[in-house]
Amino acid sequence: MLIRGGRLVDPASRIASVRDLLISGESVKSVSKSARRTPGCQVIDASGCLVIPGLIDLHVHLREPGMPEAENVASGSRAAAAGGFTTVVCQPNTKPVLDNLETLDSLISSIAKTAKVRVLPAVALSKGLQGKQLSNIEDLAGRGARALSDDGIGTSRPRFASTIKAMPMTAPTSELSRTMAGNACHPNHAPSAASSLKSP
């Protein structure tokens, strides 16, 4: 496939100009100012369009489980793909709240079966999004949680931060801390425990 004449914006390569992209399979074979078309190659005229790496949305609501009439993994991920988003982080204000292994397992199963893009689950920082008791972060991280958030509610409990920082940084919790969605704190609250997590 040849994507011709689009304005390529690629911060990693420091490119922001009109380029042709030659794609073979799932890889970019070449980037040039004027690529030669090979026999049988599909050509997409991208003149007047932006050609960019897949976008990432750190705050989406897929409403699964509990509210399929509003949204679900399949419909939300299709919309993301249509908009150029290849990775999304789904928020935990579901019904039931995404604060336990059973609910997380159900969501991950649905993601595996129906997602059209990469979907990373954010689990609740606190049980029931109540800001009173921490969720079982280590177990949730080990099961596939990739971020923590109390989704627009936030928390000003300093003990949450100290408890999280005292956790042993096993591979799952270390990965979780590196992929924090920075949206766990409401503007009217103090910085959240989630936003202060760091790997040592």
pLDDT digits (tens, 9 = 90+) for 18-41: 999 888 888 888 888 888 777 888
**% of the chain residues with pLDDT over 70:** 76
**% of the chain residues with pLDDT over 90:** 44
Contact 37, 5 (CB under 8 A): no
Q: How confident is the model at residue 134 (pLDDT cuts 50, 70, 90)?
A: confident
Question: Quick check: 131 pLDDT over 60?
Answer: yes
pLDDT on residue 172: 52
Q: Between 7 and 189, name the one with better pLDDT.
A: 7
**Within 10 Å of residue 22's Cβ, how many Cβ atoms?**
19
How many Cα atoms occupy the beta-carbon half-sphere of 42 within 13 Å? Answer: 5
pLDDT on residue 7: 93
Stretch among 55-69, 96-110, 142-156, 157-171 having the lowest mean pLDDT: 157-171
pLDDT on residue 150: 84
Q: How far apart are CA 81 and CA 77, in angstroms?
A: 6
Q: How confident is the model at residue 68 (pLDDT cuts 50, 70, 90)?
A: confident
Q: How confident is the model at residue 194 (pLDDT cuts 50, 70, 90)?
A: very low
Residue 33: partners with Cβ closer than 8 Å, 6 or more residues away: 18, 19, 20
pLDDT on residue 126: 87
For range 70-81, the mean pLDDT: 95
The pLDDT mean for the chain works out to 80
Total-model pTM: 0.72
